[in-house]
Amino acid sequence: MNRTASIKDVATHAGVAVGTVSNVLNYPDRVSDRTKERVLRAIDQLGFVRNDAARQLRIGHSRTIGLIVLDVGNPFFTSVVRAAEDAAALQGSAVLLGDSGHNASREANYIDLFQEQRVQGLLISPVGDVTDRLDLLRERGVPTVLVDRLADESKFSSVAVDDDAGGYLAARHLLDTGRRRLAFVGGPTSIRQVADRLQGAQRAVKEEPDASLEVLEAEGQTVLAGRSAGNMLVARGRAELPEGIFCANDLLALGVMQSLTMTHTFRIPEDVALIGYDDIDFAASAVVPLSSVRQPTQLLGRTAIELLSEEVESQNPVHRSVVFTPELVVRQSTAAPDAG
Amino acid sequence: MNRTASIKDVATHAGVAVGTVSNVLNYPDRVSDRTKERVLRAIDQLGFVRNDAARQLRIGHSRTIGLIVLDVGNPFFTSVVRAAEDAAALQGSAVLLGDSGHNASREANYIDLFQEQRVQGLLISPVGDVTDRLDLLRERGVPTVLVDRLADESKFSSVAVDDDAGGYLAARHLLDTGRRRLAFVGGPTSIRQVADRLQGAQRAVKEEPDASLEVLEAEGQTVLAGRSAGNMLVARGRAELPEGIFCANDLLALGVMQSLTMTHTFRIPEDVALIGYDDIDFAASAVVPLSSVRQPTQLLGRTAIELLSEEVESQNPVHRSVVFTPELVVRQSTAAPDAG
DNA sequence: CAAATTTTTTGAATCGTTTCATTGGTACGA
DNA sequence: TCGTACCAATGAAACGATTCAAAAAATTTG
């Protein structure tokens, strides 16, 4: 019982040819019930497990899809990964997951590894500036779909979420519930997502002549950054407080919420309305349940797999960019002030 | 430019034999500088990428390690995964990640998939009851290390964290800071981790004749479950409030914190001390920074890979169980009452 | 300079599948 | 009975790498 059994061993043991065993595995209909049964018994007795390397070598490609994300710890990506795995499983493929951790060289390592594995294709949420590496992929002929990043449609398919629309949704919601003096709290606008969300919010505010939007730069995307932004607001006193605050993500919003409620001087949503972005698990279970903007991560993952399949099937490249619209999730933190 | 180049194409292009190309790839020292250079140039020009399936087929095993976790979304596992990936990369292997989602059939799928891939070995945090499936693995001769679960040392190596010790640490810390009437808030004690943590806490409390430990069953491991447990405590009034609360995980602790601080009647840590478990990111950035018990996840992942390597190298199975001791992380939520 | 030694290169054999043209057998209609 | 289909089963060839004994080339030694 040293070496694992091969298809040849199974054939000998069942008294048939290797081709027949292969047929049992791949085209059961071509084999008569009697021999099929015999082969299956042999497989069971020998504990045979198909060697995927040999199969791949013959077939020419694997049944795996490479997926490289920026940060598996980020709930956004975790959810995308889950959905992609499920969608891939449905079509009989498995997902190889790589975490670049925003690091270009780790990303490059995974790209090489996945190429050696002859993945059917690649889903990638690329690190920083990118054109060179992606062009290389294109040359190598690896079907690739960009995730959470728009692409030149002549070159790649991509799936993304419309952050501008998300920002608009959030700000519009604050306006619709009667708030006029708004504030945006967000990290460096050099991050595309942050800039887009702000832009969408500004677009909404421009629709109301008597509304205003103040921008508060936060030094990061964390709870602590949110708290220090919040402390700044608290220090101003009641008269200067905005009526509605839109934070570029939920962590910031939770930080702001902490500083506003900690001092017991302001109430949410009566004095200030607060809305975040991403709808992380903690949003619903915050002290005051946090309104937020939810990205359709499931749909994102599933669609990415579908676009990749399209690329794999047809050889003439017809790339598509799919942009999803995020969804407003209303909770107590933005309840209308008169209703309170 | 249709098919990807093979080692044969490279050999032809460089005017050498296939064996030479292989040597350049695997034993560069055996090849003279002149031909090495010629081969490398050919590789570059043809965009050759080694076909790992063919390599594997010949070698007999892959350079990958399978890792099946219960929940990639759980920060505990995310951290273990990261560490395992890094440790594996250091020894030239890659990690194939599978997420069973506490689902036995998904787990079984991954086990099969990984076996077809001829992984070098398997790290697994198994779902529920387990003996049958793991015995099967043993029979098949797949080197396996259990993660976060103790194993019969005659059968498997394993890495785990001593939850009893963690519970002891937490309770001992509350006692050391002068608290006597303690409470434990935790999910169903059918979960091994919860039961062990409670047991450790009880052990610590028994060391102090005048100390007591009350057990509050929570209906889950979530913020909301913590909040309802907290509400129950608040309803009792000040006299009945325990002096120190130990929660089976940080989410519960954050929930308890919310209900205690929300009502503005109790202060942490002056009126009640609060300590959680896991040291998730949110612990440090809570309204009152939360003391917690940190599990050495990095070490866990790294050690798991090391144990697996041992199993892979030697054929006579000498299994080892490594149990780590968690670490106390003291923050404001358990500051000594006199110091406040 | 020839012999001995070392270094470099060669190429056929091999790993375990899938594929597919071929063979053997059976049934049916003429 | 023969010819024609059809169905099952066969087994050699191919996929692309690594290995290794043997040949070739380069270097050292006497």
The Cα A23–Cα A13 span in angstroms is 16
* B300-324: pLDDT as tens digits: 999 999 999 999 887 777 899 999 9
**Which bases in strand C are touched by protein, i.e. have an atom under 7 Å from a CB?**
7-21
A285: chain B residues, CB-CB within 8 Å: 222-224, 227, 255
Measure, in angstroms, how far nucleotide C22 C1' is from residue B280 CA.
Answer: 66
- Closest nucleotide C1' to the C-alpha of B38: C9
Q: Out of 3.40.50.2300, 3.30.413.10, 3.30.460.20, 3.40.50.1010, which CATH number does the structure's domain B63-161+297-326 have?
A: 3.40.50.2300
Work out the pLDDT band at B1, boundaries 50, 70, 90: very low
User: Scanning the structure block, which residue is given the tokens 């919420």?
Assistant: A257
Residue contact A258–B57, C-beta within 8 A: no
Residue A165's pLDDT is what? 98
| Share above pLDDT 70 across residues of chain B, in percent, rounded to a whole number | 98
B81: chain A residues, CB-CB within 8 Å: 72
A334 against B110, higher pLDDT: A334
Residue A176's pLDDT is what? 97
Mean pLDDT across the stretch B24-43? 96
- φ, ψ at A2 (rounded to 5°): -85, -65
| Share above pLDDT 90 across residues of chain B, in percent, rounded to a whole number | 70
* A315 in contact with chain B, both atoms CB, cutoff 8 A: no
Residue A153's pLDDT is what? 83
B155: which 2 tokens? Answer: 């059968």
Taking only Cα atoms into account, the Rg of chain B, rounded to an integer number of angstroms, comes to 27
Residues 231-260 of A with CB under 8 A from B: 255, 258
DSSP single-letter state for residue B293? E
Task: Using alpha carbons, list the distances in angstroms from residue B122 to A44, B116, B125, B158.
Answer: 22, 12, 10, 11
Domain boundaries in chain A? 7-50, 62-161+297-324, 163-295+329-334
B50 against A285, higher pLDDT: B50
A75: chain B residues, CB-CB within 8 Å: 73
Residue B339's pLDDT is what? 46
Measure, in angstroms, how far nucleotide C1 C1' is from residue B33 CA.
Answer: 29
Work out the pLDDT band at A335, boundaries 50, 70, 90: very high
* B62 in contact with chain A, both atoms CB, cutoff 8 A: yes
Task: Using alpha carbons, list the distances in angstroms from residue B67 to A221, B60, B90, B114.
Answer: 31, 20, 16, 9
Residue B170 has pLDDT above 60, yes or no: yes
B206 against A264, higher pLDDT: B206
Q: Which of A72, A99, A118 sits opposite B53 (nearest CB)?
A: A118
**Which residues neighbour strand C (beta carbon < 7 Å)?**
A 3-4, 6-8, 18-19, 21-23, 25-26, 48, 50-51, 54-55, 57-59; B 15-20, 22-23, 29-32, 34-36, 54, 57-58, 60
* B30 in contact with chain A, both atoms CB, cutoff 8 A: no
Residue B340's pLDDT is what? 40
B73: chain A residues, CB-CB within 8 Å: 75, 78
Taking only Cα atoms into account, the Rg of chain A, rounded to an integer number of angstroms, comes to 27
Measure, in angstroms, how far nucleotide D7 C1' is from residue B293 CA.
Answer: 68
Mean pLDDT across the stretch A157-181? 97
- Closest nucleotide C1' to the C-alpha of A60: D15
| Entry field: residues in chain B | 340
B181: which 2 tokens? Answer: 């009437």
The Cα B76–Cα A48 span in angstroms is 35
Strand D close residues, chain A 143-182, CB < 7 angstroms:
none
Closest CA–CA distance from residue B207 to any residue of chain A (Å): 37
Work out the pLDDT band at A3, boundaries 50, 70, 90: low
Which residues, 6+ apart, have CB-to-CB distance to A297 below 8 Å? A76, A79, A80, A83
Residue contact A72–B52, C-beta within 8 A: no
Residue B128's pLDDT is what? 75
Residue contact B118–A51, C-beta within 8 A: yes
Residue A264 has pLDDT above 80, yes or no: no
Poorest-pLDDT segment among A6-15, A34-43, A314-323: A314-323
**Which bases in strand D are touched by protein, i.e. have an atom under 7 Å from a CB?**
7-21
The Cα B95–Cα B122 span in angstroms is 10
Q: Which of B1, B140, B258 sits opposite A47 (nearest CB)?
A: B140
Strand D close residues, chain B 18-77, CB < 7 angstroms:
18-19, 21-23, 25-26, 48, 50-51, 54-55, 57-59
B160 against B339, higher pLDDT: B160
A57 touches strand D (CB under 7 A): yes
Identify which of B310, B186, B202 has the alpha carbon closest to the alpha carbon of residue B251. B186
Residues 64-123 of A with CB under 8 A from B: 72-73, 75, 78, 81-82, 85, 89, 94, 96-97, 99, 109, 112-113, 115-118
* B53-86: pLDDT as tens digits: 999 999 998 999 999 999 887 889 989 998 999 9
- Closest nucleotide C1' to the C-alpha of A10: C16
Architecture of domain A7-50 in this structure: Orthogonal Bundle (1.10)
**Among positive and negative, which fits the CA dihedral B121, B126, B131, B136?**
negative
3-state SS assignment for residue A247: strand
A54: chain B residues, CB-CB within 8 Å: 53, 57
Query: In the A/B pair of chains, how many CB contacts fall below 8 A?
Result: 93
Mean pLDDT across the stretch B14-37? 96
Residue B338 has pLDDT above 80, yes or no: no
Determine the residue of chain A that is closest to B136 in CA distance: A47
Residue A278 has pLDDT above 90, yes or no: yes
A17: which 2 tokens? Answer: 């040819």
Mean pLDDT across the stretch B216-233? 92
Q: What is the mean pLDDT of chain B?
A: 92
Go through B211-241 and write b for each residue having 16 or more CB atoms within 10 A of its CB, e for each that does not.
Answer: bebeebebeebbbbbbbebbbebbeeeeeeb
| Share above pLDDT 70 across residues of chain A, in percent, rounded to a whole number | 98
Poorest-pLDDT segment among A39-43, A68-72, B136-140: B136-140
* B315 in contact with chain A, both atoms CB, cutoff 8 A: no
Q: Does domain B163-295+329-334 sit in CATH 3.40.50.2300? A: yes
Mean pLDDT across the stretch A252-276? 91
Residue B278 has pLDDT above 80, yes or no: yes
Which residues, 6+ apart, have CB-to-CB distance to B7 below 8 Å? B18, B21, B22, B48, B50
Work out the pLDDT band at A338, boundaries 50, 70, 90: low
Measure, in angstroms, how far nucleotide D7 C1' is from residue A32 CA.
Answer: 9
Residue A1 has pLDDT above 50, yes or no: no
Classify domain A62-161+297-324 by CATH number.
3.40.50.2300
Mean pLDDT across the stretch B179-191? 93
Residue A154's pLDDT is what? 84
- φ, ψ at B106 (rounded to 5°): -65, -40
Domains A62-161+297-324 and A163-295+329-334 share a fold: yes
* A217-250: pLDDT as tens digits: 998 889 999 999 999 999 988 888 999 999 999 9
